[in-house]
Amino acid sequence: MCGRFSLKEAEVRKVAVRFRATVDARLSAEPMRPRYNIAPTQNVLAVRMEGEERILGSLKWGLVPSWAKDASVGNQMTNARAETVRERLAYRQLFRTRRCLVPCDAFYEWTGERAAKQPYAFARADGALFAIAGLWDAWSDPQSGSVLETVTLITTQPNAMVSVIHDRMPAILREADEEAWLTDTPDAAAALLRPFGGEMRSWPVSRRLNSARFDDASLIAPVRVSEQPELF
């Protein structure tokens, strides 16, 4: 699965330039704070197509399908498996019409026993921004009529580096494939959901990452596993 990731870039417009997108009018153009521990149910940046234009906006992480009875279902729909995403009822129409990019610069996976799981960060070797493949939808609250826009991140089989730590990884797209993911046919898009083949690096990070209450630069700094406390 993909349960946490980071986006240290604090300027929305720089993210928009990287992904050749226009900033959604609803999203502040002012500098954001760097985020080191983005967790499910929080808002994330995402790039979607509106007509022929890419739009960078904000979506809540945890997909709520348009036909859902209530929004609580989003808590169980933070990830979609690449192997079944085209068949599952919640995702198959979205795969045809509502694919998106979720910008980040690192993601985290855990290994070890439940009581002492150790997180590891994974990033491109050059430290550059990259996109995770996602699907989005809009849900209308039957009581208030307010609209909630949400996203799920697609996961796939791990590459050699990630497989040492975990049996899944986010479906990372090559920059050259991002346009195809957003606009090409479902068959062409499905072919892009494969283990990332680019150069990556990995390092152990603080177990404070296990709590979404913490979100500061120390979370992504390398640590010595032997020095990690047993419990918080």
pLDDT in tens, the chain (232 residues): 789 999 999 899 999 999 999 999 888 766 689 999 999 999 999 999 999 999 999 999 999 999 999 999 999 999 999 999 999 999 999 999 999 999 999 999 999 877 778 999 999 999 999 999 999 999 999 989 899 999 999 999 999 999 999 999 999 999 999 999 999 999 999 999 999 999 999 999 999 999 999 999 999 999 998 656 544 3
Catalytic residue among 2, 100, 104, 178, which? Answer: 2
How many CB atoms within 10 Å of residue 138? 13
pLDDT (0 to 100) of residue 227:
58
Show the domain range for 28: 4-105+128-198
Active site residue 30: no
The reply to whether 218 falls in a domain is: no
The reply to whether 15 falls in a domain is: yes
The reply to whether 90 falls in a domain is: yes
Catalytic residue among 9, 100, 104, 109, which? Answer: 109
> In sequence order, what DSSP letters do the residues of 166-198 get, joined into one string?
-S-EE-EEPGGGHHHHHHS-HHHHHTT-S---S
Q: Is 75 exposed, middle or buried (0-12, 13-18, 19+ CB in 10 A)?
A: exposed
For 37, list phi and psi in degrees, rounded to 5. Answer: -145, 60
For 72, list phi and psi in degrees, rounded to 5. Answer: -65, -20
For 158, list phi and psi in degrees, rounded to 5. Answer: -80, 155
Q: Taking the CA of residue 232 as centre, how many other CA atoms within 13 Å lie in the half-sphere pointing to its CB? A: 11
How many CB atoms within 10 Å of residue 84? 10
The reply to whether 228 falls in a domain is: no
Number of structural domains in the chain: 1
User: What is the C-alpha to C-alpha distance for residues 164 and 153, in angstroms, rounded to an integer?
Assistant: 21
The CA-based angle 63-65-71, given to 5 degrees, is 70
The reply to whether 117 falls in a domain is: no
User: What is the C-alpha to C-alpha distance for residues 202 and 182, in angstroms, rounded to an integer?
Assistant: 28
Residue 112 φ/ψ region, left for φ over 0, alpha for ψ in the -120 to 50 degree band, beta for the rest: left
The reply to whether 211 falls in a domain is: no
This prediction's pTM: 0.94
The reply to whether 226 falls in a domain is: no
CATH number where 21 lies: 3.90.1680.10
Instruction: Give yes or no for a contact between 6 and 106, defined as CB atoms under 8 angstroms apart.
Output: yes
The reply to whether 145 falls in a domain is: yes
